[in-house]
Amino acid sequence: MNLSRSDFQVICDWITPNSHVLDLGCGNGELLSELSKSQGVSGYGIEIDDKNISRCIKAGINVIQRDLDLGLSDFDEESFDFVILSLTLQASNYPHRLLGEMLRVGAEGIVTFPNFGNITSRIQLGLGGRMPVNRTLPMEWYNTPNVHLCTLKDFEELCEKLDIEILERRAVTHDNKTGPGLKLFPNLFGEIALYRFRKKPA
């Protein structure tokens, strides 16, 4: 397995073989393509970008061109084992609604997002006094699609509010480095945050 993003590696570990998956904002289809090849996963990707639609079709995955901000109303309750939202939450207009939608159509959700609490961002904002621009957040404030940035703590607080139970949490760096710092202080050293979650059992 040779995936272009470190969060994809973790997601592949989390997904049960032969499960039915919805990948929201599936980009060029790399993750779904890998999941279907190596784990017999079936499902659909949702993507808005024209070029990515062609890339997904080329990759041989099922892709549906749709704006995620319009919700997932075309999908029925509990249609999927997993609903994945990788590096897309921060670009969605209504992250809290999307999380709710994910757990309506799927049994479990997997979310990954750039950690705004990462030390580089903190230094750039706290000491430099400017909006962070780094390898996690490469765009300038005025042209970034990331309109809802958050930290691990912020995300966990939202989950609590929405009655979402977090099943697993990981923090990784882009180059997949490991170390005790990352384990002890994920909100400080993690560049990408990953969560697997479900609705809190009633």
Partner 1 sequence: MPEVQSQNTVGLVESSTFLFDQPLALACGETLNAYELAYETYGKLNSTGDNAILVCHALSGTHHLAGYYSEDDPKPGWWENLVGPGKVIDTNRFFVVGVNNLGGCHGSTGPTTINPDTDKPYGPDFPMVTVTDWVESQNRLTTKLGIEQWAAVIGGSLGGMQVLQWSIDYPERLRHAIVIAASSKLTAQNIAFNEVARQAIRTDPDFHDGHYYEHNTIPEKGLRIARMLGHLTYLSDDIMAEKFGRDLREDTINFDYGIEFQVESYLRHQADRFVGTFDANTYLLMTKALDYFDPATEAGSSLSAVLSKACADFFVLSFTGDWRFSPQRSHEIVKALHDNDLNVSYAEIESHHGHDAFLLALPQYLSVFGTYMDRITSECTK
Exposed/middle/buried for residue 134 (C-beta within 10 Å: 0-12, 13-18, 19+) = middle
- Closer of 75 and 195 to partner 1 (Cβ): 75
Report the nearest approach of partner 1 to the CB of residue 44 (Å): 6
Give the distance, in angstroms, between the CA of residue 11 and the centroid of all CA atoms in the same chain. Answer: 9
CA torsion sign for 85, 177, 150, 147 is: negative
68 binding partner 1? (CB under 8 A):
no
Q: Which of 13, 69, 76, 157 binds partner 1 (CB under 8 A)?
A: 76
- Category of 71 on φ-ψ map: left (φ > 0), alpha (ψ -120 to 50) or beta: left
H or E, element range at 8: helix 6-14
Tokens of 198: 């479900």
- Closer of 75 and 113 to partner 1 (Cβ): 75
Contacts for 83 with CB less than 8 Å, ≥ 6 apart: 21, 22, 24, 102, 103, 105, 106, 108, 109, 110
69 binding partner 1? (CB under 8 A):
no
Q: Which of 75, 82, 113, 195 binds partner 1 (CB under 8 A)?
A: 75
169 binding partner 1? (CB under 8 A):
no
Q: Which of 60, 126, 128, 138 binds partner 1 (CB under 8 A)?
A: 60
- Closer of 58 and 130 to partner 1 (Cβ): 58
195 binding partner 1? (CB under 8 A):
no
Catalog residues that contact partner 1 under the rule CB under 8 A.
20, 42, 44, 50, 53-54, 56-58, 60-66, 74-76, 79
